[in-house]
Each structure stands twice: as structure tokens, then as C-alpha cells.
Chain A
Amino acid sequence: MNLSDGQLVELLRKMVTIRLFEEKIIDLYARGLIPGLAHLYVGEEAIATGVCANLLKNDYITSTHRGHGHVIAKGAHLKYMMAELFGKKTGYCKGKGGSMHIADVNIGILGANGIAGGGIPIAVGAGLSSKMRKTDQVTVCFFGDGSSNNGTFHEGLNFASVHRLPVVFICENNGYGISVSQKQHQAIQDISIRAVSYNMPGMTIDGNDVLAVYETSCKAIQRARAGEGPTLVECKTYRWRGHHEGDPNQGKRYRTMEEVKEWMEKCPIRRFEEKLVSEKVLTKMKAKKIWEEIEKEIEEAVAFANESSFPSPQDMYEDVYA
């Protein structure tokens, strides 16, 4: 794999951006400044980052309820995201979508999705559309282990395979469908084996290793772009926070804190940063500076959101129909 030092640092920068964005949400949510629901991606940053680093601006993604990482990695602006989370008119969805519906079709983000597995058929359709329009666009479909039990997963993979569509299915297996552990919700360990049923390649990788994610998804995306059909990539990972902010004690009702700690030791960012420092791609000082720069960027996004106006009552009635 031939990633330049600049590209490697960019991977780190993206992961740090996602981490700090999410940590800011934890703080804002706890202080009651963000309404509604927020499902955070802390601990899973390597997946969105590694996958989206292979995508072009006009490639598509479909995202999930836990979507902040995906849309940041695909190029969404932090300030419009933050404004959306605040319910402000300047947000991506004019304050009408919130955390679970951030979308920007112009940069290929076909939406986060509040329904588990809801994005899968939509991703398949984007793939069908690219094929019909004879472009070489690829669609990446993110979803979790929980969604892999939904009918849309099976229907979507089947359809994509039958039509050899340029879709890459990225299963983020974080071990839990809300509070139900993978052991309780399916009788298999590796979700990638389900690819066999649909006659497509399937593989399971360490989702906390950004380079492994980059490399594996690179091959799958190239394959899709070449018209050779879909791939299922399962990335094993773990969510550090509860299902959503407000899930008591980070999910203590259904998992042990030892388990959480164990996975925090496998932090995808620390691991990658240490690697880059030890391989002299960047110095500790430079790494520190990255964190500081991004922190500042996020403060600017919060200020933008704070200063923005809420929608006016009349806005409620707009955009029902195009």
C-alpha cells in the first residue's frame, strides 16, 4: 500500500476530527444544549475514515443513526453539522432532520438514517442508478451488526449481487444491537460469512486498524468501480459510549465496564498515532498540534451553531413537497 506521509497524517486528522466532534457532543448534550437523540461513533472512527479515504467526491454513501463519523469522513462541514444538531436553520437539513438525518446529496451523502437497515436498499438503488447512467461511481453502505438481521440486509445484498452493482457493504460490528449482544442476536460470529449466500466476496477485518480498513475497502471499492460487483466487509469494533447519549452509565445495564475498558485499550486513534510517531511520519509535537487545531475548528462550529437562528414557524410547512 502506497500511502504518502501526507495521506497517513490525513487519516489521523480525520479520526481525531470525528473523536473530538463526538466528545464535544457528549459535553453539549450533558449540558442540555443539544435536543433529541445523539448516537455517538467514539471508538469506531477508523472504519468511516479508512473507507471514505478511498472515495471520490461524487461517490455515494448511505449512513446510519450513528452517522456523524461517516458524514465527516465523506466531507461534511462541521459547522453545518453542528448547527443541525442544535436544530438551527443553518444546519444541513435546515433544522428539520437532526443528528439522524444529516445529508448532502451534492457530496454524495444520501443521508444518515433513523431506521436500522433503512439505508441498505437505498444504497443498492444508488448503485443501480450509477450503473444505468454508466458512471463509475461507487456507493458505500454503512450499517451495523444489528441491521444484518433485518430483511433489508438480505434483500439488499441479494439484489445488488443479482445485478452486480457497484456497492460496498460495510458492516460495523460493534457487538451490540442497542443493548442486545451479538451472541444473543445471531448464531454466527462473523457476519461476513453471509456474503456466501449472495455469491459475493466477504471478509472480516479489525475495524480498529485504520490501515487494514483502508486497504480492504480499497480493493472492494476498486472491484465495484471496475463493474465486478458488490463486496461485504465486516469491521469488528466497539462503541465506547452507550447506545445513545442518555443510555445510563454507558450501557452498564447490559455490558461490563471491564469489557468497555478492554476495548478502550484498543483505541484506533492512539494506536495509529503511536505507529506514525514511531515510524517518524510525524513528531509528538505535530500530533499534539493536530488535536489542538481540530479542537479550535470544533469550537468555531459550536459558535456558528450558537449564533445561528432557529427556524421560523413557517419553515415547518416548507419542503414537504419538492
Chain B
Amino acid sequence: MHEKETPMREITYAQAINEALAWNLEKDERVFLMGEDIGKYGGIFQVTVGLLDRFGPDRVIDTPISESAFVGAAVGAAMTGMRPVVEIMFIDFTTCAMDMIVNQMAKIHYMFGGRGKVPMVLRINIGSGRGAAAQHSQSFHAFFLHIPGLIVVTPSCPYDAKGLMNTAILNENPVIFVEHKKLYATKGHAPEEYYTLPFGKADIKRAGKDVTIVATHEMVNRSLRVAEEFARDGVDIEIVDLQTLCPLDKESILESVKKTGRLIVADEGHVTCGVAAEIAAMIAEEAVEHLHAPVIRVGSPNTPVPFSPALEKIFIPDEDDVREAINRMKQYM
């Protein structure tokens, strides 16, 4: 539907999410927002800016700094007919509400034998690079993949963020909507009208035949830039943007790996037990005979996020790390 729109409208990732929230607040009276400083302040990353003025304090609720209370309250509200969208200021702060997320929100539908559901969205953000150190910069979104009952969404651009948020609010399950703080200000095309994007369907951001890079969030964009450099050298890279980690589009990954025979997985989380580890394991189990090279994981090292810019720069998996991975892959071409 967006192809028809002319001229191509560009908005930021934050605006894209804001538009989706506004549309849903407008159309569905069950939808409301809760979180720390999302009202007058507009949210720490300005995602909810303007929504308090438009929808009022009953539907855009500034909460106390009290993550267990407001995440749990969203669970109770969702069970009783509402559709809360909750912002947790940084993924790091989900730890303060982990019982509500892991033991309540994720399991209620199952524990109650299907009697009762929890249709809510928990918005969080990952990513380092702002000098915010070890408690405001983490990327442990893979943790939520370990909890059955949760849906985990990872948009990499404004178009995806808007469409996936619309889908998230329609979904009957608890959705962990993982945003990336380095993406908030980036611009991209997104149509003004309402649209949804399916869960469990990866998006091939670049088609190629030599190497597959399965990527999430900002790693998609970093990989896209590097892929153009390698194209000039004759290395044709395919980039599979997962969009949702749960449900996972195994078919698209397998199809791509069977075509290229080479797999790099790039996700900003720690490599150990991370998204890349899971996908590498899946390929080892289901498609190892198609591989011409070892699988390479690109992610954050196994240290807390350091403060000093000199260290943080090394910590962040960037274009150099993707380049290095592809160069290693080239030894098997």
C-alpha cells in the first residue's frame, strides 16, 4: 500500500511509533499508555510527545517510579478488558518488574488453562553508545525469548516500527516491543495511513547469493551499509531482518542459508546465549549440511557496558565487526 503514496514521506522511528500509538488511542478506547515521564515530558526518547495533550491524563498516565506496580497494573487491566501499552524507560529497568513480566504477564494465559488473556504491549529499548554506562545501555532482549508466552518484536526502521506496533496492539498476547535507542532519531519512509505488518515474517532487506546476514535492529542498517561495500568486491550479501524474534521465521532463515551456505548472525546483545546463539543452534540442528563455512556471531562482548567513550566504542558491535565477519567468511568462498 505504501508504494502508491507520493511523494515518499519520511519520519523518524520515534515518530513512527508515536503515530501508531496515536492512531490506536484514537480508534480503540481500550488502549491507554502508562509509564515513567511519558506525559508532559514526552517520554525519555520523546516517543509519546504530544499524546498527553491530545488524549488527556486518564489515557496517558505518568506513573510513579514503580515498575512492579505499573507493569502489574497493566496485567490486571489487560485481563479485565483494556489494552495497555506500557513504556519502561530502559530495558535495564525491566529487572525491577521481572516478577510481573515473567511469572504473571507471560504465564497467566497458560496457568489458567486459557481462561483469561493478557493483551498488552511492553515497550522497552536497547542499545549502547550514549555514554550511559552499565545500567542504562543493555541489550538483553534475548532473555525474553527464554520465557514462553511472550512475543518479542524488534523493528529496525520507521516503516517496520509503525506497522509492527499496530500489529502488537491488536495481538491477544503480551508483546515485548524492543526498540533501539540509536534508531529513534533516524528517518525513513513510512506512510501516513494505518497498516500492519505480520508477526513471524522476516523481511529480506537485501537479496544476495553469497552470504546470509540474519540481523536485528541497528545491526540491519550497519550490515546494509557494509553489504554495499562488499558488493563492489563481488560479494553478494543477503540481509534477513527478523522483525520478530518470537515467533521466529525459521523458514526464511533456512531458505536463505540453503541458498548462500554461509551465515552471519548480527544482534546487539551479548553473544553468549544471545539471539545469534539460538539461530546458530537452530541452523546446526536443521541445515548444517548446507553450510560451506562456520557460522559467525556478531554481538556485544561478554562484559557489562563500559562508560568511557574509548571503551564503549569498542564494545558496540559496529560496521567494523560486520566487515571482519564477512572477511572471515571470504576465506570459505
The reply to whether A155 and B172 form a contact with Cβ atoms under 8 Å apart is: no
> Within the assembled complex, what's the spacing in Å between the Cα atoms of A209 and B60?
43
Contact B77 A128, beta carbon cutoff 8 Å: yes
* Nearest-Cβ distance from residue A178 to partner chain B, whole angstroms: 17
Do B72 and A121 touch across chains, with their CB atoms under 8 A apart?
A: yes
- B203 interface residue (CB < 8 Å to A): no
Chain B window 109-136, contacts with chain A (Cβ cutoff 8 Å), 1 for yes, 0 for no: 1111111110100000000000000000
What B residues does A126 contact at CB under 8 A? 76-77, 79-80
In the complex, what distance in Å separates the CA atom of A129 from the CA atom of B76? 8
Of A10-18, A29-37, A90-98, A298-306, the stretch lying at the interface with chain B is A90-98
Residues 129-147 of chain A: 1 if any B CB is under 8 Å from the residue's CB, otherwise 0? 1101100000100000000
Q: Which residues of B contact A156 (CB under 8 A)?
A: 68-69, 72
> Across the two chains, which residue of chain B brings its CB closest to A95?
B113
**8 Å CB contacts to B: which residues of A91-118?**
91-97, 101, 103-106, 110-111, 113-115, 118
Contact partners of B72 in chain A: CB under 8 A: 118, 120-122, 124-125, 152, 156
> What are the residues of chain A within 8 A of B115 when measuring CB–CB?
92-93, 103-106
Q: Which segment of A49-57, A184-192, A212-220, A313-321 sits at the interface?
A: A313-321
| A121 lies within 8 A of B75 (CB) | yes
Instruction: Enumerate B279-317 residues with CB–CB distance to A below 8 Å.
Output: none
Q: Is B58 an interface residue (CB 8 A)?
A: yes
Report if A128-B73 is in contact (Cβ < 8 Å); known contacts: A133-B82, A155-B66, A155-B68: yes
From A125, A133, A162, A322, residue with most partner B Cβ within 10 Å: A125
Pick the contact of A133 from B63, B68, B81, B149 — CB < 8 Å? B81
Partner of A121, one of B76, B82, B114: B76
Complex Cα–Cα for A96 and B109 (A): 10
Which of A101, A106, A320, A322 makes the CB contact (< 8 A) with B119? A322
Interface residue? B137 (CB, 8 A):
no
> Chain A nearest CB: distance from B81 CB in Å?
6
* Minimum CB–CB distance for B1 against chain A, Å: 27
Which residues from chain B contact A133 at a C-beta distance below 8 Å? 80-82
Query: Complex: how many Å from CA A95 to CA B110?
Result: 10
* Pairwise interchain contact A130-B80, C-beta atoms closer than 8 A: yes
User: Do residues A122 and B75 form an inter-chain contact, with CB atoms below 8 A?
Assistant: yes
> Is the Cβ of B73 less than 8 Å from the Cβ of A125?
yes
Assign chain B's interface to a size class.
35 or more
A179 in contact (CB, < 8 A):
no
Q: Say yes or no: A320-B77 contact (C-beta < 8 A), given A101-B112, A105-B112, A118-B103.
A: no
| Distance in angstroms between the alpha carbons of A103 and B63 in the assembled complex | 28
**In the bound complex, do residue B64 and residue A159 qualify as a contact, i.e. CB atoms below 8 Å apart?**
yes
Residues of B within 8 A of A155 (CB): 64, 66, 68-69
* A132:B113 contact, CB within 8 angstroms: no
Answer yes or no: A250 CB below 8 A from chain B CBs.
no
Contact residues in A for B77 (Cβ distance below 8 Å): 125-126, 128-129, 132
Interface residues of B in 82-98 (CB under 8 A from A): 82, 84
Q: Is B271 an interface residue (CB 8 A)?
A: no
Find the residue from A110, A121, A130 having the highest chain B CB count within 10 A: A121
Whether B108 is near chain A, meaning CB under 8 Å from some CB there, is yes
Question: Is B173 located at the chain interface by the 8 A CB criterion?
Answer: yes
Mark contacts of B26-60 with chain A using CB atoms, 8 A cut-off: 1 yes-contact digit, 0 otherwise: 00000010000000000000000000000000110
Q: 1/0 contact trace for A52-92 toward B, CB 8 Å?
A: 00000000101000000000000000000000000000011
Complex alpha-carbon distance, A95 and B99, angstroms = 23
A105 to B68, CA, bound (A): 22
Asked, given contacts A121-B68, A159-B69, A322-B119, whether A129 binds B82 with beta carbons under 8 Å apart, the answer is yes
B100 close to chain A: CB less than 8 A: yes
Residue in contact with A124 in the complex, picked from B32, B69, B99, CB distance below 8 Å:
B69
28 contacts between A and B (CB under 8 A): A60-B80, A92-B112, A92-B113, A94-B114, A97-B112, A103-B108, A103-B111, A105-B80, A106-B115, A110-B79, A115-B99, A115-B103, A115-B104, A121-B100, A122-B104, A125-B79, A126-B79, A129-B77, A132-B58, A152-B69, A152-B99, A155-B66, A158-B64, A159-B66, A162-B64, A320-B148, A321-B151, A322-B109
Contacts A121-B70, A320-B148 known; 13 new A-B pairs at CB < 8 A: A95-B113, A96-B110, A111-B112, A121-B68, A126-B76, A128-B73, A128-B76, A128-B77, A129-B76, A139-B76, A156-B68, A159-B73, A162-B64
Question: Interface of A with B (CB < 8 Å)?
Answer: 60, 62, 91-97, 101, 103-106, 110-111, 113-115, 118, 120-130, 132-133, 139, 151-152, 155-156, 158-159, 162, 318-322
